[in-house]
Amino acid sequence: MAREAEADRPFPRAAVTPTKVRVLITEGKGLEIEWSDGHRSAWNFAWLRNACPCATCNEERAQQGRKPGQPKAKPADLLPMYTPPAKPASAQAVGRYAIQFNWLDGHSAGIYSFEFLRRHCQCSECRFDRGETTGAPN
Ligand SMILES: [Zn+2]
Ligand SMILES: [Zn+2]
């Protein structure tokens, strides 16, 4: 697919080099990164948990046809159950290229490289560029 080929294009170094990384655990908000090229990105914890890039989660998503960050479909015949929002207990840098979350559900295998995160920037502009939203960026 053309869109996938475009998504594989490498980023300039400044686009994947963070100048500021904030993990807003206490606020329960998510991850915020400011990049060397001046762009700012933010991801909420639910998106990050559903985008876990570890082999197991990748495989599970591939089987279910889900994109990174896309939640699992809930069975329609079950009563809706409260599931606590995904949140990490902690997060740490992995070398200079990635960040790792220790999720409260016990999962921590995913290494979120800065390139992966930038590729999936959730700002309205980037989502519009990737064709994930139909509305104009605001
Ligand atoms: Zn995983
Ligand atoms: Zn963006």
Q: What is the distance in A from the centroid of ligand 2 to the CA of 46?
A: 18
Q: What is the distance in A from the centroid of ligand 1 to the CA of 90?
A: 15
**CB count in 10 Å sphere of residue 41:** 18
pLDDT band at 2 (very low <50, low <70, confident <90, very high): very low
**CB count in 10 Å sphere of residue 11:** 14
72, containing H or E segment: none
pLDDT band at 137 (very low <50, low <70, confident <90, very high): low
Q: What is the distance in A from the centroid of ligand 1 to the CA of 27?
A: 23
pLDDT exceeds cutoff 80 at 36: yes
pLDDT band at 119 (very low <50, low <70, confident <90, very high): very high
Q: What mean pLDDT, rounded, does the chain reach?
A: 90
CA-to-CA distance for 112 and 82, rounded, in angstroms? 27
Return residues with CB closer than 5 A to ligand 1 (ion).
52, 54, 57, 109-110
Q: How far is CA 72 from the centre of its chain?
A: 15
Answer whether CATH 3.30.2020.30 is correct for domain 2-70+84-128.
yes
Map out the domains of the chain as residue ranges: 2-70+84-128
- Sorted by sequence, the CB contacts under 8 Å of residue 109 that are 6+ apart come out as 52, 54, 55, 56, 57
